[in-house]
Structure 1
Amino acid sequence: MTRAWILPVLLVVCGSLVATTLVVRGFPGAAVPLLLMFVLLAGLNSPLVFPRSIGAVEAQRRSAVDGRPIVYWRPGCKYCLRIRLGRSAHRLHWVNIWRDPAGATEVRAANNGDETVPTVVVAGRPHVNPDPEWVRAQLSPST
């Protein structure tokens, strides 16, 4: 859990330090937008941006029942942000590989030992960093 928050916390701390330095040097007008930018980046890279993750075993079980794709992801991955899919995101099963060792194992098995994300599994077949439009097309209208 804590590993997922390292990047967002570092972004807020760095932004705070830079903003404080700017205020001390007499540039408070520049400090505010800069701090807001760092906080926004922290939010985008936090676990809060993605739908609630479940374990790999549970995701596989649910996918076998409902046919929905599984997305293996990790916080801080800009490609995972791209595949988030807005409102369609809840129609996928999300597995955070930093929180679930079984998920990390699945991703390594699909990527020759690398933890390359997003890895999307559709009908038991992994796809590495697929186009978001392709992922949307994999979602059946009934899900």
Structure 2
Amino acid sequence: MDRWMWVTWPAVGVIVGGLVSGWRFSIWWVLIFLCCCLVAWWVSPWSRGRSKTMSDVMALPDGDRRVIVYWRPGCPYCERLRAALGRRGDDAQWVNIWQDSEAADFVASVNGGNETVPTVVIDGEPHTNPDPRVVLEALAP
């Protein structure tokens, strides 16, 4: 999905709401518009707030950046990883590739030119969409 596709979701909600209600205002307009706004927020670059930049993470001591997760909003694989890690995921450094072009370039460089996420760097070695158990093992004290 294009990184700015989130802008069109509310418009889709209005069009679908109009079609469902025969272009008369009804509760369907409101419900469908609100659902589309929710989807728009979920896939927007700001859905989880501002994350760290790649340069911020690289400035940390080596021990604090053993696990770096490159992610983007709206990615179901990123959400799966975040959910599987639970509280342990807070020990990883999360970098949103939509908020940091340097991070997006790095992810593309290790994934054959594609911005495939989640890309997780564990002790300097990149892993594309790894099994959450691998990441949990790396985060273990």
- Specify the TM-score bucket, using the shorter chain as the normaliser: 0.7 to 0.9
- Is the alpha carbon distance of 1:47 and 1:63 closer, same or farther for their aligned partners in structure 2, counting shifts above 3 Å? farther
- The superposition leaves residues 53-108 of structure 1 with CA deviations (integer Å, 9 ceiling, x where unpaired) of 22212223326241441111223322222222354443321222233222122212
- Cα root mean square deviation, aligned: 2.7
- Is the alpha carbon distance of 1:45 and 1:132 closer, same or farther for their aligned partners in structure 2, counting shifts above 3 Å? farther
Aligned to 1:64: 62
Task: Measure how far apart 1:129 and its partner are.
Answer: 0.8
Give SS of 2:60's match. helix
Structure 1 residue 36 and structure 2 residue 34: aligned?
Answer: yes
Task: Measure how far apart 1:113 and its partner are.
Answer: 2.3
Q: Tell whether the 8 Å contact from 2:108 to 2:115 is kept in structure 1 after alignment.
A: yes
Structure 1: gaps spanning 5 or more residues: none
Once residues 55 and 48 of structure 2 are traced to their aligned partners in structure 1, the CA distance between those partners, rounded to angstroms, is 19
Aligned to 1:139: 139
- Is the alpha carbon distance of 1:78 and 1:110 closer, same or farther for their aligned partners in structure 2, counting shifts above 3 Å? same
Give SS of 1:53's match. coil
Aligned to 1:130: 130
Aligned to 1:90: 90
Once residues 40 and 51 of structure 1 are traced to their aligned partners in structure 2, the CA distance between those partners, rounded to angstroms, is 15
Structure 2: gaps spanning 5 or more residues: none
Task: Measure how far apart 1:20 and its partner are.
Answer: 3.9
Q: Tell whether the 8 Å contact from 2:57 to 2:65 is kept in structure 1 after alignment.
A: no
Aligned to 1:19: 17
Count of residue correspondences: 138
Q: Tell whether the 8 Å contact from 1:63 to 1:69 is kept in structure 2 after alignment.
A: no
Aligned to 1:112: 112
- Is the alpha carbon distance of 1:17 and 1:87 closer, same or farther for their aligned partners in structure 2, counting shifts above 3 Å? farther
Normalised by the size of structure 2, how large is the TM-score? Answer: 0.75
Give the share of equivalent positions with the same residue, in percent: 40
Q: Tell whether the 8 Å contact from 1:121 to 1:127 is kept in structure 2 after alignment.
A: yes
Once residues 46 and 129 of structure 2 are traced to their aligned partners in structure 1, the CA distance between those partners, rounded to angstroms, is 21
